[in-house]
Amino acid sequence: MPALEKINDQRLFGGRQMRFEHDSKTLQCRMQFSVYLPPLATQQDVPALYWLSGLTCTDENFSAKAGAQRLAAELGIALVIPDTSPRGDKVPDDPEGAYDFGLGAGFYVNATEAPFATHYQMYDYISKELPALVEAELPLSTHKAISGHSMGGHGALVMALRETGSYTSVSAFSPISNPINCPWGRKALTGYLGEDESHWQLYDASVLLAQHKTTLPILVDQGDADQFLAEQLKPEALQAASEASGSAIKLRIQPGYDHSYYFIASFIEDHLRFHARYLLPQS
């Protein structure tokens, strides 16, 4: 069997919107992900923006709802859109079937607690296995940026801050900015990493940013009508962390916007152009 099995391929803005399956050694299950290749990819390797989705999502939410492909085609940037968690009959889920833990809620961590440790290694899958796979099998260069929404915004910020030099830039929509201090984060981190909160800090963007100054370009958009803003997202913790370390981030509060893909679709062009400045120096 080839490393990648193509399961969908559609023409879009002169490029191709595709979906693949593969056997993940990291997650020990069969995984699916989506890729948009711009027209330029027929002529040369192109840089990629990795998009990490939020709770309950799969790789198809962003590709269907965000409207990012038109500008990605114009700029010559690929979009790599992984799933949010391991999948399959043998992959454990929340025993009560809750939406905020287990399937669809991998939180982009490397789990250490049974029964999740075998499969829930999403941090290594996104930061290591998947880039190596797509760069070997598709016309992608090694230049990459990362972005995401909500739980995916958390994952994008954490990976960019930890994997120094791997990403040219990072952005996020409505990220879970301080998961060690919010209900979604505390539930997930306890379940995947155990009760020792010192282990959680590696997966908290506000903690990481406060500890070390970064020169990485960071853009964050947050709607002020977001129903999860006060209890779960806590962008003020991210702003305070950036000030504590002397890091420059651009945090924009967008009046009237909520947590939905309508918000993402409204500002995705800004984020693509932001990343293009670093992925494509001539842009």
Let me know if 150 is a catalytic residue: yes
Alpha helices (H) along 172-234: 183-193, 205-211
**Cα 92 to Cα 155: distance, rounded to the nearest angstrom:** 21
Residue 24: active-site member: no
CB distance 274 to 214 below 8 Å: no
Cα–Cα distance for residue pair 192/205, rounded to 1 Å: 17
Catalytic residue among 22, 259, 271, 275: 259
Tell me which of 150, 206, 242, 247 is the catalytic residue.
Answer: 150
Give which of 166, 174, 163 is closest to 203, Cα–Cα: 163
Which uninterrupted H or E stretch holds 223? strand 218-223
Q: Which amino acid is at 91?
A: V
Chain centroid to Cα 67, Å, comes to: 17
| Token digits of residue 142 | 């090694």
Does the annotation mark 226 as catalytic? yes
Contacts with 2 (C-beta within 8 Å, 6 or more apart), sequence order: none
Active site residue ranges: 150, 226, 259
